[in-house]
Structure 1
Amino acid sequence: MPIVLYHFPLSPPCRTALCTAKALGLDVTIKIVNLLAKEHLNEDYVKMNPEHTIPSLDDNGLIIWHSHAIATYLVSKYGKDDSLYPVDPAKRVVVDQRLYFDATTLFPRLRATTFPLMFLGKTDVEPDKKAAIYEALGILEKYLEPTGWVAGDHVTVADIACAVTTATLQAMGVVLDAYPKIREWLERCNSTIPHFEEANKEALKDVAELIKSKVTHNVYAP
């Protein structure tokens, strides 16, 4: 049975799951769930995933949702080695911590600004919410200082998750001039992680166009 990923390209969490699958060389069947058309609220989808979030993964009847759970599951089951998600507890806990940073800080601060623009008719971003994004990027810059990677001395699923979110922020108009480590790291992710740039390129263009259609100026400029 094929692995099925319920996916919406504009969603950073969806692309985190997809990029992890592609980095592992997995052949996954993509089923689009259009958030903008509220397809995630369809009865069949809610029956499968009561939280009606995306992405969801169906691996031969095992249903998983939340992108970080999907990413770590895929590496644990299908990875040829544990480099993307180390088995050693001392190394793994750092990866987990950075995944939690993306899940609880970096991505929520992105969503806190995009949701009002896309669904509530807002045409600007509140200054405190914008400042919160730049504060999170300052933390990420510190994480990258020791090795150039988010969690250790090589790429892990934490880099995939944080890089997808950060690339999306950049596409939205967030300015990365003050974060040289982040800029270098994003370039390294594009060149080092298999299929990473390919999996994000068109979606990032669509994100940029969608944001521009909602505002009259760069509402994310510092």
Structure 2
Amino acid sequence: MTKLILYGLEASPPVRTAKLTLAALGVPYEFVEVNTLAKENLSEAFLKKNPQHTVPTLEDDGHFIWDSHAISAYLVSKYGKNDNLYPKDLLQRAVVDQRLHFESGVVFANGLRSITKPLFASGLTTIPRERYDAIIEIYDFLETFLKGQDYIAGSQLTIADFSIISTLSSLEAFVDIDPAKYTRVTAWVKRLEQLPYYEEANAKGARTFTEIIKKTNFKFAS
């Protein structure tokens, strides 16, 4: 097996998605920190690896792959002992893919990034109220997705769970959700927290992310 290198910042939700996938597969790898807050991802050396200068970036035998969704699908396809985490059945895979696109286009882009980009890029600490409403809408969707099933894309754990939990555990830095209202989401989160690798692959980074956010002293507009 060739040596895998994962470049990224542990606080980053997409990086934690890749870490969860690698942990679930039991694939050894080297983690190289790239501090995006210090703009290390804009260095000449990193731009040669990933001209889009995003994390995570995966190096496998001299080849570079970026985007956590693409990385996770690649890892399961190449290193998985079975296809449970990313089913080959076309209908099952379509559901997983839909959830992955939901994470990138809604949970991450419309939820998390729409808040963090103004915070860090522009120093704006008053967040428009509609951003809070967008997070609530995300929880509403997830509660619906989980009706009658234990995992986000069906009856088994997939990379869609890893993708969404990494971002959702970061949104908790902004919004306290009522577990009585979102019983399915709450049960799903607890189910993932019981994974033996969850603490190391996601929880630690999520706590670091929350600490960073708290230092911004953000508030939602009334």
Question: Smaller-chain TM-score range?
Answer: over 0.9
Structure 2: how far apart are the matches of 1:196 and 1:206?
Answer: 15
Aligned match of 1:185 in 181, 185, 188? 188
Residues 91-141 of structure 1 show CA distances to partners (whole Å, capped at 9, x for unaligned) of: 111000000100111011211101212231111211011211111221111
**Structural mapping, 1:1-222, within 5 Å:** 1-108=2-109, 109-170=111-172, 172-177=173-178, 178-192=181-195, 194-215=196-217, 219=219
> Secondary structure at the residue paired with 2:59?
strand
> Secondary structure at the residue paired with 1:4?
strand
Structure 1: how far apart are the matches of 2:194 and 2:83?
Answer: 21
> Is the deviation greater in 58-67 or in 119-128?
119-128
> Is the deviation greater in 99-108 or in 195-204?
195-204
Q: Which has the higher contact order (CA 8 A, sep 6+)?
A: 2
Task: State the number of aligned residues.
Answer: 218
Structure 2: stretches of 5+ with no match in the other structure: none
Structure 1: stretches of 5+ with no match in the other structure: none
> Is the deviation greater in 88-97 or in 206-215?
206-215
Structure 2: how far apart are the matches of 1:213 and 1:132?
Answer: 23
Structure 2: how far apart are the matches of 1:68 and 1:221?
Answer: 33
Name the TM-score, length of structure 1 as normaliser.
0.93
User: Which amino acid letter does the alignment assign opposite residue 115 of structure 2?
Assistant: T
User: Which amino acid letter does the alignment assign opposite residue 61 of structure 1?
Assistant: G
Cα RMSD of the aligned pairs, angstroms, is 1.6
Name the TM-score, length of structure 2 as normaliser.
0.93
Structure 2: how far apart are the matches of 1:129 and 1:155?
Answer: 29
User: Which amino acid letter does the alignment assign opposite residue 203 of structure 2?
Assistant: K
Contact 2:86/2:93 (8 A) holds in 1:
yes
Report how far residue 221 of structure 1 moved: 10
Contact 2:7/2:55 (8 A) holds in 1:
yes
Contact 2:57/2:67 (8 A) holds in 1:
yes
Structure 2: how far apart are the matches of 1:64 and 1:123?
Answer: 33
Structure 1: how far apart are the matches of 2:18 and 2:204?
Answer: 16
> Secondary structure at the residue paired with 2:5?
strand
Contact 1:19/1:199 (8 A) holds in 2:
yes
User: Which amino acid letter does the alignment assign opposite residue 142 of structure 1?
Assistant: T
User: Which amino acid letter does the alignment assign opposite residue 7 of structure 1?
Assistant: G
Contact 1:75/1:82 (8 A) holds in 2:
yes
Identity of aligned residues (%): 42
User: Which amino acid letter does the alignment assign opposite residue 195 of structure 1?
Assistant: Y
Contact 1:113/1:129 (8 A) holds in 2:
yes
Structure 2: how far apart are the matches of 1:153 and 1:220?
Answer: 37
